[in-house]
Chains A and B, each alone.
Chain A
Amino acid sequence: MKRLLALAVVTALTLTACGSADKSGTSGGQVTLTFWNGYTGPDRPALEGLVKKFNDTHPGIRIEMNIMTWDVLFQKLLPAYTSGNGPDLVAFDDAHIGRFAAKGVLAPLDDWFTAERTATLVKPAVEATLFKGKHYAVPMTFTPILMYYNKKLFKDAGLDPGKPPATWQEWQSALKKLTKDTNGDGRPEQYGTALPDHQTIQVWPILLWGNGGDLLSLNSPQSVQAVQQWSDLVSKDRISPTGLGGADADKLFQTGKAATNITGPWMTAGFKEAGLDFGVAMVPAGPAGAVTLAGASSFVLNARSDAAKQKAAKEWFTFWNSKESQIAWSNGSGFPGVRTDVTPDDTKANPYVAQFAAHSEKARVLLPGQAEFRKIYEEIFEPAVQRVTTGEAQVQQALDEAAKAIAPLSGP
């Protein structure tokens, strides 16, 4: 009997050890905010530094940050919200705002957006936080996605590395020159660019926009023409491999196998480390003008967080969006940030910041406020692009089908 009792006690102890954690958050006047994000990369120290500074300067509030990979974060997030164990704060790409706001798990934040605050913030970053006319997020960071180009490969191809292509015409002719099949086996040893089509920062929408097309009007003549032109360049002129993920594309550029690559400021450090001689320029302007994608992220607040936590969270938003914090974030992460009044002088520590910031106004957020963003983009648009670039489908037909599938999923 004694043995039985001992076993029962041990079992009980093991089980309680798994289950208990202080979830109250507010104890002794101290408010604890849990904060999840996926900044595992080189921008991590900058974020950690600012959280530490906030904790040090705000004695009543403590932010407990939990950094995990984005994959893990998105697998855990909705179940966590549903079970009541969701984090108070999360930072994620703006594309997800509509997705989670539609589920009713995010707190509306309209009262934080005073006219004065809104005026200091980049406009598309603010607009992206809207879902059905209400703000459900506060801008965290913002950057235009630009074209990186390998100066040495430009020189080798007889192109001027000081004058990157500025229009689609120049760009397309440069890409053909930069694509080289040296051994004549039909498979280039060097590609003009690396156009990723899944698991990536979204490059294809930039090409749609450049021609006046859009994801929500996929079978418009402008969209069809854009996809036709660029998929021909991929399938016939082989300017890029097909089936690339974002990391594959970055790797091709990093190893000098692709001469250009469209991505964000987070890659500058890695490319420099690889000893690459590269420049950064605006994505060349299409017939409809110069436009690029915004890489934007925002903070969201758990709808179930209590009043004290909501108040504390808003203090954090204000702290984060102060000029001082934004300058520290820009210098540490390379992101131009969400304020309009940060000057190149402020970010001298990281010269790329100003290069990116110069094009902030031409950046557009992808499908803002769309609850079904992921389905529209990853389950319909990307497979359609994959089909046409590998020659498995005709452009018009593929886009007609995609547009038909998107229509019932897209909101106003």
Chain B
Amino acid sequence: MRARRTATAYAFLAPTLIVVGVFMVWPMLQSLADSFYDKSIGPGIFVGLGNYTKLLGDPAFLIALRNTVFYAVAATPVAVALALGLALLLNGHVRGRGFFRSALFLPSVVSLGVVAIAWKFLLDPDIGLVTYWLRGLGVDVGDGVRDADVAMWYLIGVGVWKNAGFYMVMYLAGLQTIPRMYYEAATIDGAGPWQRFRKVTWPLLGHTTMFVFIIAAIAALQVFDQIFVMTRGGPHFATESLVYLVYRKGLQDFEFGYASAIAWVLVLIVFVLSLAQNVFFSRRAVRF
């Protein structure tokens, strides 16, 4: 009886498992295998760890790695902090709460590729609307995404704008799980708003923060869409991320083996980072 029920369950899961297996797991394993080959078209030549050792001396990889780390280090905390701030603000009784919640969540629903086109136009240093207004206010925005020195900040801005709303919703959900009585108790004990946040909200949001931080960091390490639309990795590779490099090496230069190796380095980075974050946050988690 039990075996039959298990079989039925698997049968229900089968369509999804097959799709995930065929379109995700299999290609991933295939790319892992490819990463040990010098491969363009046809079977390729086995080179062992050759692609991986080549990476370490490839300036294109090192630049992309640096850009990606820079993006993640800048974008992740900003997006998370912004999300927490907005969640705290919109958790209370604010007028138009529903409107603001939806408005802030909206960017994470629409395709980044599409909104990046809009941002590219709005931020164009010559014919952009936002830059026009800013200039009217006396703010010099320079050459925008065409300027190698600041282009990355524009991409970070768009990335944060896109994701903060989603993280905010997670924080809102986290805030709802904190029982009111803790706040009441804290207030009776004489805790001000800052102490209530520091001693009640923040520790009890630990699990949410861990989760949000991990997915925010992963999303940042995989940055691609707005780069593809707004800068194509330029000017002169100043905004090329690892995923963009995978795209360039694989789909433009047809170096499938090498591109797979880069992709797997990224997988490794994401894995190690997630593990480290997990350990870090679980140690600090509060149980009650």
* 25 examples of A-B residue contacts, CB within 8 angstroms: A4-B8, A4-B11, A74-B251, A78-B254, A82-B42, A103-B40, A197-B235, A198-B232, A241-B126, A241-B143, A241-B146, A242-B146, A243-B143, A243-B147, A243-B235, A245-B232, A251-B127, A255-B127, A374-B252, A386-B148, A390-B147, A390-B148, A390-B235, A392-B148, A392-B236
Within 8 A of B (CB), among A358-401: 374-375, 378-379, 382-384, 386-387, 390, 392
Asked if A257 and B18 make an inter-chain contact with CB atoms under 8 angstroms apart, the answer reads no
Q: Are A74 and B235 in contact (CB under 8 A)?
A: no
A248 touches B124 (CB 8 A): yes
Alpha-carbon separation in the docked complex, A120 to B251 (Å): 37
Rounded to whole angstroms, the CA-CA distance of A336 and B202 in the bound complex is 69
With a cutoff of 8 Å between Cβ atoms, the chain B residues found around residue A290 in the complex are none
Chain B neighbourhood of A78, CB < 8 A = 41, 254
Assess the B127–A252 pair: CB atoms within 8 A: yes
Q: Which stretch, A8-16, A153-161, A163-171, touches the partner chain B?
A: A8-16
Q: Are A387 and B236 in contact (CB under 8 A)?
A: yes
Q: Is A105 an interface residue (CB 8 A)?
A: yes
- Could you tell me the distance in whole angstroms from the C-beta of B148 to the nearest C-beta in chain A? 7
B12 in the interface (beta carbon within 8 A): yes
| Most chain A CB neighbours (cut-off 10 Å) among B15, B18, B235, B237 | B235
Query: Is A46 on the interface with B (CB-CB < 8 A)?
Result: no
Q: How large is the interface on A (under 10, 10 to 19, 20 to 34, 35 or more residues)?
A: 35 or more
Residue B234 lies at the interface, judged by CB distance under 8 Å to chain A:
yes
For the complex, is A23 an interface residue (Cβ under 8 Å from B)? no
B147 touching A374, Cβ below 8 Å: no
Chain A residues near B184 (CB-CB < 8 A): none
B11, B140, B254: the one contacting A103 at CB < 8 Å is B254
On whether the beta carbons of A386 and B253 are closer than 8 Å, the reply is no
The answer to whether B124 touches A7 (Cβ under 8 A) is no
Q: B145 contacts the other chain (Cβ, under 8 Å)?
A: yes
B128-148 interface mask toward A, CB cutoff 8 Å, 1 = contact, 0 = none? 000000000000100101111
The yes or no answer to B276 lying at the interface (CB within 8 A) is: no
Q: How many residues of chain B get a CB closer than 8 Å to chain A's CBs?
A: 30
Q: Which residues of A contact B145 (CB under 8 A)?
A: 243
- Given A103-B254, A243-B145, output 13 extra A-B contacts at Cβ < 8 Å: A7-B11, A75-B251, A105-B41, A197-B235, A242-B143, A243-B143, A248-B124, A251-B127, A374-B252, A383-B235, A383-B236, A387-B236, A392-B148
Question: Nearest Cβ distance between residue B125 and chain A, in whole angstroms?
Answer: 7
How near does chain B come to A364, taking the closest CB pair, in angstroms?
A: 24
Contact status B253-A11, CB under 8 Å: no
Q: In this assembly, does A85 line the interface, its C-beta being within 8 Å of a C-beta of chain B?
A: no
Judged by a CB distance under 8 angstroms, whether A278 is at the interface is no
A103 touches B253 (CB 8 A): no
Residue of A nearest to B254 (CB): A78
What residue of chain A has the Cβ atom nearest to residue B138's Cβ?
A185
A3 touches which of B8, B232, B251, B252 (Cβ 8 Å): B8
Chain A residues whose CB sits within 8 angstroms of the CB of B11 once the complex forms: 3-4, 7-8
B267 at interface (Cβ–Cβ under 8 A)?
no
Q: For residue B235, which residues in chain A have a CB less than 8 angstroms away from its CB? A: 197-198, 242-243, 383, 386, 390
CB distance from A214 to the nearest CB of B (A): 21
Q: What chain B residues lie within 8 Å of A7 (beta carbons)?
A: 11-12, 14
Is B7 on the interface with A (CB-CB < 8 A)?
Answer: yes
- Decide if B237 touches A383 in the complex (CB within 8 Å): yes
Known A198-B232, A244-B146, A251-B127; judge A375-B253 contact (CB<8 A).
yes
Q: Report Cα–Cα, A387/B237, bound state, in Å.
A: 10
Within 8 A of A (CB), among B220-279: 232, 234-237, 248, 251-254
CB-based nearest B residue for A8: B11
Does A199 touch B at the CB level, under 8 Å? Answer: yes
Interface residues of A in 227-274 (CB under 8 A from B): 241-245, 248, 251-252, 255, 257
A289 contacts the other chain (CB 8 A): no
Q: Mark B1-28, 1 if CB is under 8 A from A, else 0.
A: 0000001100110110010000000000
